[in-house]
Amino acid sequence: MVSTSLPGGTWTLGDLPVTRFGYGAMQLAGPWVMGPPADHGGAIAVLRAAVELGITHIDTSEAYGPHVTNQLIREALHPYPDSLHIVTKVGANRDQQGGWPPARDPESLRRSVHENLETLGLDVLDLVNLRLGDAAGPQPGSVAEAFETLVGLQQQGLIRHLGVSNATPEQVAEAQAIAPIVCVQNMYNLAHRQDDELIDALAQQGIAYVPFFPLGGFSPLQSSVLSTVAARLEAAPMSVALAWLLRRSPNILLIPGTSSTTHLRENIAGAALRLSDDDLAELDKIGR
Ligand SMILES: NC(=O)c1ccc[n+]([C@@H]2O[C@H](COP(=O)([O-])OP(=O)(O)OC[C@H]3O[C@@H](n4cnc5c(N)ncnc54)[C@H](OP(=O)(O)O)[C@@H]3O)[C@@H](O)[C@H]2O)c1
């Protein structure tokens, strides 16, 4: 096990040790995740700062930009340190309007895995999440054909580990019946608690839960309870939201996004905030 001074310590994704405090690179691609980036130099700087600060888990996708986020990661960090694990996802394309149409047929998935390898400059992808559902959230339906396609690419040696994203609990179970997964990446934060049961079930199985939009995504988390607790602790609401996630369950890995090295440092410091049982009970009311 590697040691880290980052809040939350470490977790092992399959056989890959990562810091529980990771970094989500999506919004570096530009406004509404369509290139070009708003600040190219700033994006490179924040990626390098993340690694310098000890983060060993970066979340991305070929769909971000499209291509832009992966290209920024490669420009900033290649050749990658051995300790760094880049997690990507496949299963959605981008359209002219910036939408995210599903692309989960076998040919699209194969193409996307090869594009990720190329833009990131890798021979093997550490972890690939199959992104399900749509922009409205998880949608029911079988994942078998798509997940089996990724298992085939894993057997070819192009992928180390698999996960699912934007998935219903039934789809998580269906994927697990086909092959092991090491993580589930779904929307979850203080105000969106729909996956509480799933998180606990995954924790018992030693599988990571990686909440996307941990800070609310494109609309920052806002809650009077959160503001009250943050004011009492003399902390930023974002700090409380991240510290709460780390406390919520040991299998939760953070991938907050930011385009600012100042915010990155604030978030790392903030996630270390100690929350009392009273704070937790009060925060618990937000999403229930
Ligand atoms: N699987 C999926 O379908 C899916 C979907 C969405 C996202 N994701 C992943 O989840 C990651 C996280 O999502 P996200 O970045 O969209 O949302 P997020 O982490 O919830 O929030 C990011 C937003 O919070 C702001 N922020 C961060 N720290 C702040 C601070 N200390 N003070 C004030 N504002 C702060 C950022 O603005 P600044 O840039 O100004 O700091 C940015 O606008 C993404 O990077 C992506 O990798 C996955």
Q: What is the pLDDT of residues 221-239, one digit of tens each?
A: 999 999 999 999 999 999 9
Q: What is the pLDDT of residues 173-204, one digit of tens each?
A: 999 999 999 999 999 999 999 999 999 999 99
Q: How many CA atoms lie within 13 A of 215 on its CB side?
A: 21
59 lines ligand 1 (CB under 6 A): yes
- The chain-wide mean pLDDT, for the chain, equals 97
pLDDT of residue 2: 67
CA dihedral 137, 228, 277, 255 (to 10 degrees): 40
Which atom of ligand 1 approaches the CA of 61 most closely?
47
Average of per-residue pLDDT across 84-106: 96
List residues with catalytic annotation.
64
Closest-CA residue, ligand 1 atom 48, reads 212
Q: With bands split at pLDDT 50, 70 and 90, how would you rate the model's confidence at 288?
A: confident
Average of per-residue pLDDT across 232-247: 97
Q: What is the pLDDT of residues 10-49, one digit of tens each?
A: 999 999 999 999 999 999 999 999 999 999 999 999 999 9
Q: With bands split at pLDDT 50, 70 and 90, how would you rate the model's confidence at 3?
A: confident
Ligand 1 centre and the CA of 21: distance in Å?
13
Which atom of ligand 1 approaches the CA of 165 most closely?
1
More confident residue, 78 or 3: 78
Nearest alpha carbon to residue 128 among 115, 139, 137: 115
11 lines ligand 1 (CB under 6 A): no
pLDDT higher than threshold 60 for residue 1: no
186 lines ligand 1 (CB under 6 A): no
Cα-Cα end-to-end distance for the chain:
36
Closest-CA residue, ligand 1 atom 10, reads 212
Average of per-residue pLDDT across 64-79: 98
209 lines ligand 1 (CB under 6 A): no
Average of per-residue pLDDT across 274-284: 95
Closest-CA residue, ligand 1 atom 26, reads 258
pLDDT higher than threshold 70 for residue 5: yes
Average of per-residue pLDDT across 81-106: 96
223 lines ligand 1 (CB under 6 A): no
